[in-house]
Amino acid sequence: MSGFSYPHTCPLIDKEIGRAKGDLTTYARDLLRSYNIEISGKEMLLAGEELFSALSDIFEKTRKTNEDMRTEAHEQIVALEAENMELRALLYCQRIAS
């Protein structure tokens, strides 16, 4: 067995976090404009940052879950590789004995 062969997803998570930050900033701007509230670019960025900050814990929990799943997959693979080796050794011993 060669281990858990799936590319690391943190770069993808980071990319999506950046995208979400931009989307939230745009959403905050559009929401404020829908109420006829005009704000400066700086204020718009601040509103987006505040909205993102309120939700950023969700992204970090997603990252942590991803890391936990990867660790668990690795541990299961190691256990299966050990079991595989034991079974092969047992088979080998039985072949020699017969």
38 inside domain: yes
70 inside domain: yes
Domain interval for residue 44: 11-97
DSSP, collapsed to helix, strand or coil, labels residue 5 as: coil
88 inside domain: yes
Q: How many structural domains compose the chain?
A: 1
48 inside domain: yes
Q: How confident is the model at residue 86 (pLDDT cuts 50, 70, 90)?
A: very high
pTM of the model: 0.61
Q: What is the pLDDT of residues 15-51, one digit of tens each?
A: 888 888 888 888 878 888 899 988 888 887 787 788 8
52 inside domain: yes
Whole-angstrom Cα distance, residue 51 to residue 87? 55
Inter-residue long-range contacts of 6-14, CB under 8 Å, 24+ positions, other chains counted: 9/66, 10/63, 10/66, 13/59, 13/62, 13/63, 13/66
